[in-house]
Amino acid sequence: MVSGGGTNLQAILDQIESGRLPGCQVVTVISSRPGVYALERARKHNIPSCVISKKDFETLEEYDEAVLKHLKEYKVQLVVLAGFLSLLGERVLSEYENAIINIHPSLIPSFCGKGFYGIIPHKKALEYGVRVTGATVHFVDREYDSGPIILQKAVEVMQDDTPESLQQRVMEQAEWVLLPEAIRLFAQGRLKVEGRHVTILGESAQRKEDEG
Ligand code: GAR
């Protein structure tokens, strides 16, 4: 699910095409807005896409239902919020419990929550004067940026950073690496969620669990 330029979507597509995400396929792309470049990326890769926008529905329940219907139609197993800037509805959240992940451009719990999206976390990080920021991939729950954390990666802030230069470095060094990595771990069945805590199972541990 996307809302903008789709560089995180592109990172996933690149890893799939180079064989580094075996067994994974982007079956559909849902955008919250029309005309965004992420939709063009989907088109170039022959991936079905659509726009499902909250404002086109009278109630949140109808919006929720439309998203769920689309996800079911495409037999989606993992929902990836790759720069998606809306909150999901109750039905999608409960049907896909521990199967929706989000990438956020800061080290949660810093610079996150309602209103912190896109370039804003980077502006706030520079205003605060932190030396280190980064990105976080987490499971999605009912609030903004608040579910169990899967992976985080730190990125150094430089003296002469602007919000734009920091955003670019966080994407290159952290986001485009972490999001595909989290998808790989999910696909390999190696993420075990207990309350707020995510355990990353070793490959051999997972084999033993599978064998019972
Ligand atoms: C990314 O930096 C992503 O982490 C952020 O929006 C940008 C989307 O870029 N997401 C959030 O802020 C969510 N709270 P992209 O469309 O090029 O992937």
Q: What is the pLDDT of residues 89-148, one digit of tens each?
A: 999 999 999 999 999 999 999 999 999 999 999 999 999 999 999 999 999 998 889 999
Residue 210 is predicted with a pLDDT of 63
Q: Give the global pTM.
A: 0.95
Closest residue by Cα to atom 14, ligand 1, is 117
> 179 CA distance to ligand 1 centroid (A)?
11
Burial of 107-139, coded b for 16+ CB within 10 Å and e otherwise, reads: bbebbbeeebbeeebbbbbbeeebeebbbbbbb
Q: Is the pLDDT of residue 28 over 90?
A: yes
Residue 160 is predicted with a pLDDT of 98
Ligand 1 atom, smallest distance to 171 CA = 2
Confidence of residue 203 (pLDDT cuts 50, 70, 90): confident
- Please identify which of the residues 104, 122, 138, 197 carries the catalytic annotation: 104
71 lines ligand 1 (CB under 6 A): no
Q: What is the pLDDT of residues 160-190, one digit of tens each?
A: 999 999 999 999 999 999 999 999 999 999 9
Q: Which of 12, 29, 81, 103 to mutate to test the pocket of ligand 1 (most atoms within 8 A of CB)?
A: 103
Domain 7-211: assigned CATH number: 3.40.50.170
Residue 143 is predicted with a pLDDT of 86
Q: Encoding tokens for residue 175?
A: 């986001």
Residue 209 is predicted with a pLDDT of 64
Which phi-psi region, left, alpha or beta, contains residue 112 (left: φ > 0; alpha: ψ -120 to 50)?
A: beta
Q: Is the pLDDT of residue 202 over 80?
A: yes
Residue 151 is predicted with a pLDDT of 98
Domain-wise residue ranges, the chain: 7-211
Average pLDDT of the chain is 95
